[in-house]
Amino acid sequence: MRVGFILNNKIKIAVFASGSGSNFQSIVDSGHSAYEVVLLVCDRPQAKAIDRAKKAGIDSFVFQPKQYPNKQVFEREIVQHLKEKQVGFIALAGYMRLIGPTLLTEYEGKIINIHPSLLPAFPGKDAVGQALAKQVKVTGVTVHFIDEGMDTGPIIAQEPIYVHNKDTKETLQQKIHQIEHQLYPEVIQDLCLTIGKETIKK
């Protein structure tokens, strides 16, 4: 079955990443049936996520923002690559840039992000470090829709994680990654199932 961004009953998705790509890998390896990762978008040419995409046989669009006059220009090029791949959904996975109006308009309601805290607590960079500095007893993971703000979009799912007195930044990050790698693919699966059903109805 092929309808626009649906191929063999799967929504074609792109994952945006800037770093190691562990969440990218979990999305690719999950085995969920409602989506297929067809593109990695990466803003750092040395990111390990690029190697992960190569090993998985997934195409990458790698760019350097400093080579463009502004965000609008490089986001237009991203949109072009997304359309070429017929991408119907975007998952941010450690992508360290705010999404601008160009992408938000083109993929309204179809861009999500995963953040290592229980939003609205500790938005932005180094959420794990922020949590430890505040000596909170509970932090967690949030999956949310993207809007024009910094981690301000509507929340889709959250899962708490207890912070123990002996936790270091490294041990807390490990616990958060374990949750992220399970939760994020499940949320993407559910959303893509919904998108697929709505598209077929149309």
Our answer to whether residue 144 is catalytic in this structure is: no
Strands (DSSP E) contained in 93-184 are 111-115, 138-145, 155-162
- Is residue 52 annotated as involved in ligand binding? no
Secondary element (H or E) of residue 22: helix 22-29
Residues 6+ apart with CB under 8 A from 6: 12, 88, 196, 199, 200
Pairing of strands 111-115, 89-92: parallel
Task: Consult the annotation and say whether 196 binds a ligand.
Answer: no
How many CB atoms lie under 10 A from the CB of residue 30? Answer: 17
CA atoms within 13 A on the CB side of 56: 23
**98 annotated among ligand-binding-site residues:** yes
113 in a known ligand binding site: yes
146 annotated binding-site participant: no
Q: Is 165 annotated as a binding residue?
A: no
71 annotated binding-site participant: yes
The active-site residue, picked from 32, 115, 144, 181, is 115
Binding residues for (6R)-10-formyltetrahydrofolate, as ranges, are 71, 96-99, 113
Binding residues, as ranges, are 21-23, 71, 96-99, 113
| Catalytically active residues, by annotation | 115
